[in-house]
Amino acid sequence: MSDIKTILIIGTYDTKSDELRYLQGAIEGQGGRTLTMDVSVLGDPPEATDLSKHDVAGTAGSSIEAVIASGDENSAMQIMAEGAARLVKQLYEAGRFDGMIAMGGTMGTDLALDCARALPMGVPKYIVSTVSFSPLIPTGRLSPDIQMILWAGGLYGLNAVCKSSLSQAAGAVLGAARAVEPPRKDRPMVGMTSLGSSCLSYMKILKPALEARGFEVAVFHATGMGGMAFESLAAEGAFACVMDFALQELSNLMHGSIVNSGEDRVLTAGRAGIPQIVAPGCIDLVDFAAWQEVPMGLRDRPYHVHNRLIASAMLTPEERRDTAREIGRRLGQSTAPAHVLLPVGGIEEWDKLGEPAHDPDGLAAFVDEMRTAIVHPVGLTEIDAHINDRAFADAALAVFDAWIADGIISM
């Protein structure tokens, strides 16, 4: 793409033309180019856009007339969202733009979230929304590297307050498009999950060891959005291998925590044919927001307050057995080799003797269930050590090196 960056602007140009044209002018005034997409349904914009609402509906295999006749505003906007997301993907793959920005209230934001998810990680994607940061937006709708800016005072017409938001958004998306360093693919990449470095620390050994073997290593913080980024890149086939060693996002998903990364956790790499080395780091915990009251079902359990944002409660032995069975079920669907490392001495720093999550009976129940849940062709290696011990990292490298020798991992 050229040095002059093009920004795709998405919105309902029938009702928000003034605001969208202001945003366009702000981008072009800074030396950027723009590509405009109208996602209106009922009205027509006062000026033509580069991509019309008819283009959007047609890309969804529909027409504006059919969209209007679909039943209600929700069904109509879902058709437009489908068309817009497909069209965004097609335009980006054709090299038509370098970054995306969309603007709207709840309706426009709903559509814009789908458009953002249609783009690969690393492509600047901004949404100016009246509901930015709102709990109305579930984490599963967010693309991992999305940026949102509150559209303050912008519900109806231009004013000094909303111009401040829009002008910042224009600078942000154009600046990001100019500054972004696209991911290079000069070295094969290993995707690894962890939970900080105080709870899980194996990456301190593994990262330099893998880099010495010629691999790049990306470590993802498994606190919801980190897992989403990990799964998103796996879906794109970005990894030569994954070392998925922090699974509490799956535990959170199973036990009702909002700190999860969606329904596809521990499934995507296997579907994409990526070899997986897996370990159950932190699978004994369920996370919750530390700034809220402890959830009713967790109040009678030991828990660890990590900081003012996040705390973790312990799972019961039976819940750990359920989680082990789910790990086995998900890995059993893999289309590529998968191997589980089971450190029987402990699976996170807080389960050591004297720490708040120390529960030998719960760990024993989990280990026992894993021995049954992991079945051929998924491999299982028990390690008489803690997950943070050197022996665990050495075992991971032994599997990794064997897979290189067997041609399972490509250099």
Tokens of 174: 């154009």
Residues 165 and 212 occupy one common structural domain: no
> What pLDDT score was predicted for residue 2?
62
pLDDT confidence bin for 72, thresholds 50/70/90: confident
CATH no. for residue 55? 3.40.50.12020
DSSP string, 71-103: SSHHHHHHHHHHHHHHHHHHHHHTT--SEEEEE
Residue with tokens 């690393």: 122
CB 357 within 8 A of CB 311: no
Residue 317 CA to chain centroid, in angstroms? 29
* CA separation, residue 366 to residues 253, 255, 344, 354, 361 (Å): 18, 16, 9, 20, 9
Residues 200 and 119 occupy one common structural domain: no
CATH no. for residue 219? 3.40.50.12030
Domain boundary among 179, 213, 246: 179
Q: What is the pLDDT of residues 169-209, one digit of tens each?
A: 999 999 999 999 877 778 999 999 998 778 899 999 999 99
Residues 240 and 116 occupy one common structural domain: no
Smallest CA-to-CA distance from 18 within 190, 159, 141 is with: 159
Residues 13 and 136 occupy one common structural domain: yes
Looking at residue 231, its amino acid is E
Domain boundary among 120, 145, 179: 179
Tokens of 347: 């699976």
Average pLDDT over residues 68-82: 91
Residues 194 and 316 occupy one common structural domain: yes
Residues 307 and 195 occupy one common structural domain: yes
Domain boundary among 179, 200, 234: 179
Average pLDDT over residues 283-306: 85
Q: How far apart are the first and last CA of the chain?
A: 29
Which residues are within 8 A (CB) of 384 and not within 5 positions of it... i.e. 6 or more apart?
Answer: 344, 345, 391
pLDDT confidence bin for 135, thresholds 50/70/90: confident
- Please tell me the distance from the alpha carbon of residue 9 to that of residue 97, in angstroms, as a whole number: 10
**N residues, the chain:** 411
Q: Higher model confidence: residue 258 or residue 10? A: 10
Query: Does the predicted TM-score (pTM) go above 0.75?
Result: yes
Residue 410 lies in a domain: no
Residue 184 lies in a domain: no
Strands 216-221 and 125-129, how do they pair? Answer: unpaired
Looking at residue 212, its amino acid is A
Which residues are within 8 A (CB) of 141 and not within 5 positions of it... i.e. 6 or more apart?
Answer: 113, 117
Summary mean pLDDT of the chain = 93
Q: What is the pLDDT of residues 208-263, one digit of tens each?
A: 999 999 999 999 999 888 999 999 999 999 999 999 999 999 999 998 888 888 89
Percent of all residues in the chain with a pLDDT value above 90, rounded to a whole number: 77
Average pLDDT over residues 43-58: 96
Q: What is the pLDDT of residues 329-345, one digit of tens each?
A: 999 999 999 999 999 99
Residue 314 lies in a domain: yes
pLDDT confidence bin for 154, thresholds 50/70/90: confident
DSSP string, 87-144: HHHHHHHTT--SEEEEEESHHHHHHHHHHHHTSPTTS-EEEEETTTT-TTS-GGGS-T
Q: Is the pLDDT reported for residue 78 higher than 90? A: yes
Percent of all residues in the chain with a pLDDT value above 70, rounded to a whole number: 100
Domains in the chain, number: 2
Residue 209, domain extent: 189-405
Which H/E stretch holds residue 65?
helix 64-68
Residue 279 CA to chain centroid, in angstroms? 20
Q: How many other C-beta atoms are found inside a 10 Å radius of the C-beta of residue 204?
A: 12
Residues 72 and 210 occupy one common structural domain: no
Instruction: Please state which of the ranges 225-234, 286-295, 343-352 shows the lowest mean pLDDT.
Output: 286-295
Average pLDDT over residues 65-69: 93
Residue 1 lies in a domain: no
> What pLDDT score was predicted for residue 3?
83
CB 175 within 8 A of CB 228: no
Instruction: Please state which of the ranges 29-43, 153-167, 334-348 shows the lowest mean pLDDT.
Output: 153-167
